[in-house]
Amino acid sequence: MADEAAKLVAKMPVRDGGECTCLFEPLLVSEGATSRPQLSDLALSLAEKSAALSSSLPPVIAGAFAELSRTVNCYYSSLIEGHRTRPIDIERAVRDDFSDDPETRVLQLEARAHVAVQQWIDEDTIDGRPFSTKAICEIHRRLCIPLPSEFEQGDTGSDDEKLAMLPGAIRSKDVQVGRHIAISPGAVPRFLVRMEQGYNTLGRIDKILSAACGHHRFLWVHPFPDGNGRVARFLSYATLRAALSTGGLWSVSRGLARREKEYKTHLQSCDEPRSGGPEGRGGLSEGALASFAEFFLGACLEEVDFTRSLLEPQKLRNRVLTWAEEEVRAGILPPRSEAVLAATLYSGQLARAEVATLTGASDRSARRLTAALIKSGIVKSETSRAPIQLAFPIGLAARLLPGLFTEG
């Protein structure tokens, strides 16, 4: 039904105001701008710190945390949209465990789609070209197609008018977002083509800067009736993942959500027209774009620093083993569970045969201990014979990864 509706919409005439793509130039802060050296330094620092974080972790632990980061990204991106979806509800939605409460269930469906889109991006499906029209529409389609009918209307900015929203389909009507009157719907395709031309063939520093600059320019175009904010954050995520090889260990959505008021104020400032003089060429203010890029890269650096401190090996080891000791004393985990976890932390995984050796227990007792650890969620295993690997379940996040999820 959605495909048939999309075909009908495609045949409908849409207004094209003939807007020139020069209206949203510059797409990047120019080399000659006074702010450019500082932005380049921030981009280089982000590249260095992100690489240091990735190389400091055993691959298995990095993979486990990256999997949890999809929930983190979803949680904070939802907060920015005003949707408070509990982390535990996101985790359950991924397992197709939905609430009986209709409102919670809708949020869970939205969250499951969000996590699935990030996983799709993490599998390198975009091929390093997130700002292509094809990738942009596919991200929106994947975000929206699993959602129920109540999500099928977008806001035009008018109190009495709504837009039909089809997954992956460009809007067919004019919209106003706050004080910003977006370009006509007929102009959207050529502005997206210009973004693809401007962002998908850049050097490394410019690619990093495009994660910030393209974030605003996409929102300025406002291609879809709804969901533009989420798509914009995914475009930035995918761009940084490709440019920095982040491994999905951190996401700027957390940093933006924690400074949401500044984030939205900067975006609004970027809508302002060029004031002339040193502003360079183009229709929009280069100074405002530079300020947003500085804010954006600063938020990224904060997230890398936070993640690195959270996963610092000795501190993480102490938190895991302290929790395990408490569980052993409470009779929830068998004795010597700490030794097994300590060995698992060292390399990220442990062969099942080594559990008996480490604990001095019989094979049967070792199997029971392993089963208890898996049940607790602190470790996981692909099969009944595969090694056990460290895991980061949502239920233990507050103890093992303090501050990862915050309220407000």
Entry pTM: 0.91
Same domain, residue pair 280 and 225: yes
Helix axis angle, 260-270 to 286-310, nearest 10°: 160
My answer on whether 210 and 342 are in the same domain is no
Same domain, yes or no: 194 and 335: no
| Residue 14, pLDDT above cutoff 90 | no
pLDDT for residue 278: 57
3-class secondary structure, 188: helix
78 & 217 share domain: yes
CATH of the domain at 319: 1.10.10.10
- Mean pLDDT for the stretch of residues 28-50: 97
Classify residue 229 as left (phi > 0), alpha (psi -120 to 50) or beta: alpha
In eight-state DSSP terms, residue 27 is S
What is the rounded average pLDDT for all residues in the chain?
91
Asked if 272 and 355 sit in the same domain, the reply is: no
Q: Is the previous residue joined to 26 through a cis bond, with omega within 30 degrees of 0?
A: yes
Average pLDDT over residues 386-405: 95
Q: Which domain holds residue 380?
A: 313-400
Q: Which of 238, 251, 215, 239 is nearest to 75 (CA)?
A: 251
Q: Is residue 326 part of a domain?
A: yes
Query: Over the stretch 84-140, which tens digit does the pLDDT of each residue have?
Result: 999 999 999 999 999 999 999 999 999 999 999 999 999 977 877 899 999 999 999
**Averaged over 21-46, what is the pLDDT?**
97
Going by their DSSP bridges, the two strands 153-155 and 176-177 should be labelled as unpaired
Domain final residue, candidates 310, 328, 353: 310
Select from 150, 142, 96 the least CA-distant residue to 119.
142
Instruction: Measure the CA–CA gap between 275 and 366, rounded to whole angstroms.
Output: 71
> In this structure, is residue 407 part of a structural domain?
no
**DSSP E strand stretches across 137-253:** 153-155, 162-164, 176-177, 180-181
Give the residue from 231, 247, 236, 253 showing the smallest Cα distance to 80. 253
Q: Is the pLDDT of residue 162 over 80?
A: no
Identify whether the C-beta of residue 30 lies closer than 8 Å to the C-beta of residue 193: no
Q: Which residues pair with 264 in a beta bridge?
A: none
Q: Is residue 373 part of a domain?
A: yes
- 59 pLDDT more than 70: yes
277 plus 359 within the same structural domain: no
The whole-number average pLDDT for the span 351-360 is: 93
Q: Tell me the C-alpha distance between 395 and 236, whole Å.
A: 29
Q: Which of 76, 45, 33, 72 is nearest to 298 (CA)?
A: 45
Q: 284-320 b/e with 16+ CB inside 10 Å = b?
A: bbbbbbbbbbbbbbebbbbbbebbbebbeeeebeebb
Are residues 339 and 193 located together in one domain of the fold? no
Domain count, the chain: 2
pLDDT score at 124: 79
342 and 295 share one domain = no
The pLDDT score that the predictor gives to residue 163 is 60
Do residue 213 and residue 199 come from a single domain? yes
Choose among 50, 46, 118, 131: nearest CA to 78: 118
The whole-number pLDDT of residue 245 equals: 83
Check: CB of residue 15 under 8 Å from CB of residue 185: yes
